[in-house]
Amino acid sequence: METLLIGAQIGLLYGPLGLGIYLAISVLSLPDLTLEGSFGVGAATGAATAVAGFDPVTAMLAGMAVGACAGLITAVLHTRLRMNVLLTGILMTSAAWSVSIAIMGTGNVSLVRIDTLFTWVRGFGVSQQNATIIVAGGVSLLLAGLLAAYLHTSSGLAMRATGLNIQTARSFGIRTERYQIAGLAMANALAAASGVLVAHSQGFMDVSIQGGIIVVGLAALIVGMTILPSEKIIPGIIAVLVGVVVYRIVIAFCLRAGIPPANLKLLTTLIVLAFIAIRMHGGGLYRIREWRQRRRQHIQFLEENRVVKLI
Amino acid sequence: MSSSLSEQPATPRGALVTVRGAEKQFPALGGREMITALDGLDITISPGSFVALIGSNGAGKSTLLSVLMGAQFLDEGAIEIDGEAVTDQPSWQRSDKVAMVRQNPENNVLGGLTIEENFALAVMGPRRGLRLRRYPRAEIRANAAAALAGFGMGLEDRLDESSATLSGGQRQAIAVAMAAVRKPRLLLLDEHTAALDPKRARIVGEATTEIARQHGMTTIMVTHDLAHAMHQTDRVLMMHRGRVVLDLSGPEKDGTGVSDLAGIFERVVGEALPDRTLLAVS
Ligand SMILES: Nc1ncnc2c1ncn2[C@@H]1O[C@H](COP(=O)(O)OP(=O)(O)OP(=O)(O)O)[C@@H](O)[C@H]1O
Ligand SMILES: [Mg+2]
């Protein structure tokens, strides 16, 4: 039970990041790695504004705004300079590291004795762990609700169309480049919200927290889509939130079982690979009876495989 | 079909579509050579007419329709639709005037959305109605059901299903129905019945003609079915190597039989007709 709570506690902090990944990858079909950088600059902004004496909600909104700007830059580079999104994201994430240091004026800041949403909830006599679950869960659910509501409007429908087939969407009168720009800004604002949550909950901010964080979001998406496969919006959003919590619970169990924390990244990769395998092959990976069919499916995959040019 | 959607203004005088000196080339052989798809093409189409566009494979028919839709842009030349110069206008801006049913069914209907959502976009997009509220569901559903009923494929009862599960022919029927509820000034059909079985092709073909005539939509229909081209339309244009090589209308068209047309086609193209065309003639 304790392990489940630890999993939920940390997982929910990454809920908004999962939502951002869902929006960028599942809805817009844009593999935007800028989310990792936005997580960092969001956390840096959230920390710097909190230290400067702003209230936690303002700090959160400021972090999200800076994240949205990062997404905006990526989207404009993609739509104006026609740069590949993947490549742009890698470059932006690298730049974000320096931007985070510039925002904070230093590589790390301490947020001890600074008011955050977490300390505010603890003021009601709630334990540290429950406070984290309440705040992170509340923020994740609020943002998930807003995202789901938006995607059900006509404008949100147009954004989904943009991610499905640009040519068809445009012939329906949809100005696809605008939806890509708005969508990436929203996705990066979500990732930045996660950054603020993580920085505020752990009581300090170090630029290195952004390193490799995109994998957490991807894991959330893949685990979620495996548990709850659906093309619909609300199941998709629930899936990604469930995914991030399940993923952290698995990690928590592994740590409890005595796996050293240094192996965490290897562990994450293995978890993601395991879920991808389950997703692609269903339960029985090596049942002899279906060998012929699997072989056919594999050849089909090779037939349909396509090369993607990065530059 | 409900008429509450986008009422059209009275038909203006003069041409609905004018294409002047249209040139379009594509790089081939890794960019070392250029293929000419449109070669100084001139076309004028009057409002309300139903035009068949025929020609061999690679004649430039799809390219011409793409250029009219705004999915591709000319190297040289000018296009005017409904009195507006649209040569450099992106397709999303033309969507209130022009609707297109493409050759490939995958590109006509969005697979990840339900049929209802596809209709919602087809109606709300050109209306500039993509706002932060939900689309008028009852109205969209009523329109979609009415438009789909004409095809007799039972699609009107499947509005909530994901369109990813539809067959190519079903997608084409939906595409025509979506174009119909938009009531565009110009309807572009690129072999829209080629993916359908013969019976269904006839039903969809006839339903399309009826919809277009009923709403007075100017229609350009690409087809390889010469009999369909002769019998259902007001005018037949034959393209070859990016030019219009034959323009039949009025008494001249009435005096030409399908076999005469097939003869002209064979002479122009200088090669045997594809089997499908011959079948249609016999
Ligand atoms: N995107 C493209 N890239 C390169 N070449 C193209 C492209 N689109 C068309 N072409 C070339 O332009 C010419 C005209 O093609 P188009 O698709 O307009 O022919 P079509 O008349 O529609 O033929 P079909 O009856 O086979 O559909 C062809 O020679 C084709 O090779
Ligand atoms: Mg074609």
Element (H, E) at A110: strand A108-110
Within 13 A of B223's CA, how many CA atoms are on the CB side?
24
Quick one: pLDDT band at residue A304, thresholds 50, 70, 90? confident
Question: Which residue has the CA at smallest separation from atom 3 of ligand 1?
Answer: B26
For strand B243-249 and strand B235-240, is the pairing parallel, antiparallel, or unpaired?
antiparallel
Identify the residue among A172, A175, A225 best suited for mutation to test binding to B, counting B beta carbons within 10 A and taking the highest: A172
Quick one: pLDDT band at residue A142, thresholds 50, 70, 90? very high
Residue A308 lies in a domain: no
Pair of tokens at residue A136? 């992170």
Name the residue of B61, B68, B221, B238 to mutate for ligand 1: max ligand atoms within 8 A of Cβ. Answer: B61
**ipTM given for this complex:** 0.85
pTM of this structure: 0.88
Residue A156 lies in a domain: yes
pLDDT for A271 equals 86
Identify the residue among A79, A147, A154 best suited for mutation to test binding to B, counting B beta carbons within 10 A and taking the highest: A154
Query: Is it the case that residue A11 has pLDDT exceeding 80?
Result: yes
CA B117/CA B135 separation, integer angstroms: 9
For residue A233, the domain's CATH number is 1.10.3470
- What does the pLDDT look like over A50-81, one tens digit per residue? 999 999 999 999 999 999 999 999 999 999 99
Query: Is it the case that residue A37 has pLDDT exceeding 60?
Result: yes
For residue B188, the domain's CATH number is 3.40.50.300
Query: Is it the case that residue B18 has pLDDT exceeding 90?
Result: yes
The verdict on a CB contact (< 8 Å) between B131 and A150 is no
Asked if A63 and A196 touch (Cβ cutoff 8 Å), the reply is yes
Q: Hey, how many other C-beta atoms are within 10 angstroms of the C-beta on A122?
A: 17
Quick one: pLDDT band at residue B152, thresholds 50, 70, 90? confident
Q: Across chain B, what does the average pLDDT equal?
A: 86
Of A155, A164, A172, nearest to B122 by CB-CB distance is A172
Expressed as residue numbers, the domain containing B97 is 5-281
Query: Between B148 and A277, whose confidence is greater?
Result: B148
Window 227-266 of A, Cβ < 8 Å to B: 231
CA A87/CA A92 separation, integer angstroms: 9
Residue A162 lies in a domain: yes
- What does the pLDDT look like over A273-298, one tens digit per residue? 888 888 776 654 455 556 777 777 77
**3-state secondary structure string, chain B?**
CCCCCCCCCCCCCCCCEEEEEEEEEEEEHHHCEEEEEEEEEEEEECCCCEEEEEECCCCCHHHHHHHHHCCCCCCEEEEEECCEECCCCCHHHHCCCEEEECCCHHHCCCCCCEHHHHHHHHHHCCCCCCCCCCCCHHHHHHHHHHHHHCCCCCHHHCCCCEHHHCCHHHHHHHHHHHHHHHCCCEEEEECCCCCCCHHHHHHHHHHHHHHHHHCCCEEEEECCCHHHHHHHCCEEEEEECCEEEEEEEHHHHHCCCHHHHHHHHHHHHCCCCCHHHHHHHC
Which of A222-231, B118-127, B273-282 is predicted with the least confidence, judged by mean pLDDT?
Answer: B273-282
Residue A6 lies in a domain: yes
Query: Between A103 and B169, whose confidence is greater?
Result: A103
Asked if A19 and A259 touch (Cβ cutoff 8 Å), the reply is no
Pair of tokens at residue B212? 């277009």
Residue B248: φ, ψ to 5°: -110, 130
Query: Is it the case that residue B277 has pLDDT exceeding 60?
Result: no
Asked if B92 and A173 touch (Cβ cutoff 8 Å), the reply is yes
Q: Which distant-in-sequence residues (6+ apart) come within 8 Å of A47 by Cβ?
A: A59, A104, A109, A111, A199, A200, A204, A205
Query: Between A1 and A247, whose confidence is greater?
Result: A247
The answer to whether the CB of B35 is under 6 A from ligand 1 is yes
Helix/strand/coil for A206: strand
What atom in ligand 1 is closest to the CA of residue B239? 21
pLDDT for A45 equals 97
The verdict on a CB contact (< 8 Å) between B95 and A173 is yes
Quick one: pLDDT band at residue B5, thresholds 50, 70, 90? very low
Number of domains chain A is built from? 1
CA distance B32 to chain A (A): 20
Residue A284: φ, ψ to 5°: -80, 100
CA A131/CA A108 separation, integer angstroms: 24
Q: Is the Cα dihedral A292, A293, A298, A299 positive or negative?
A: positive
Quick one: pLDDT band at residue B257, thresholds 50, 70, 90? confident
Residue A295 lies in a domain: yes
Quick one: pLDDT band at residue B196, thresholds 50, 70, 90? confident
pLDDT for A262 equals 86
Burial class (CB in 10 A: 0-12, 13-18, 19+), B182: buried
Q: Which distant-in-sequence residues (6+ apart) come within 8 Å of A228 by Cβ?
A: A235, A236, A238, A239, A242
Number of domains chain B is built from? 1
